[in-house]
Amino acid sequence: MSLDRAQALALLHQWTQSPGLRKHALGVEAAMRAYAPNFDADPEAWGIVGLLHDFDYERYPTPADHPFRGVEELRRHGVPEEWTEAILGHAQYSGVPRVTPLAKTLFAVDELVGFLTACALVQPDKSIAAVRVPSVLKKLKDKAFAKTVSRDDIRQGAAELGVELEQHIAFVQAALIDVAPELGLR
């Protein structure tokens, strides 16, 4: 492995100052680590991919640059091509197909982590544990709630993984509960 978690976290912090974007990265990392054993994959490697999938977004927020600039930097660090392909594939507009379980999982969890975070933040205690799957499904239908989150990506991600949407929501929520203090979602 070319980058360990400490190095990946340092790179994230070097490129990303926003606490919200850093928390998003930690949430995606947790979801990726949780899904890795389902595919007999290395949770450490999958976690690093989740941690770094948006690390360039603050510097390069346009579709012309993100995630392409970040992938250039990761290639300089010698990360496996499977990682860069997954990161490129998480952006629909990149044109990079998601063919590996790693790529499909990153795409499937990215928007959902953001949506579940929004669901938790409207809870009276801002707790991810207080979020209920039926409530999430209802909020997915409300286009005014967390309007920047792509509902189509959430649904397509679950379909590409071959899991029911409700099961996917519950699985990712459980992963986020495990890191709730770091996400500010106690």
pLDDT digits (tens, 9 = 90+) for 49-93: 999 999 999 999 999 999 999 999 999 999 999 999 999 999 999
Q: Give the per-residue pLDDT at 155.
A: 97
pLDDT digits (tens, 9 = 90+) for 92-132: 999 999 999 999 999 999 999 999 999 999 999 999 999 99
Cα dist from 45 to 4, 7, 82, whole Å? 8, 12, 10
Q: Give the per-residue pLDDT at 186.
A: 82
Rounded average pLDDT over 20-46: 98
On average, the pLDDT of the chain sits at: 96
CATH number of 5-183: 1.10.3210
Residue 1 has pLDDT above 70, yes or no: no
Q: CA-CA distance, 179 to 139, in Å (whole number)?
A: 23
For residue 59, what are the contacts with CB-CB under 8 A and spacing of at least 6?
15, 69
Which position has the token pair 């938790």? Answer: 120
9 token code pair: 């976290």
Give strand ranges (E) for 27-151: none
Q: What is the pTM of this model?
A: 0.96
Q: CA-CA distance, 81 to 92, in Å (whole number)?
A: 18
Question: Domain boundaries in the chain?
Answer: 5-183
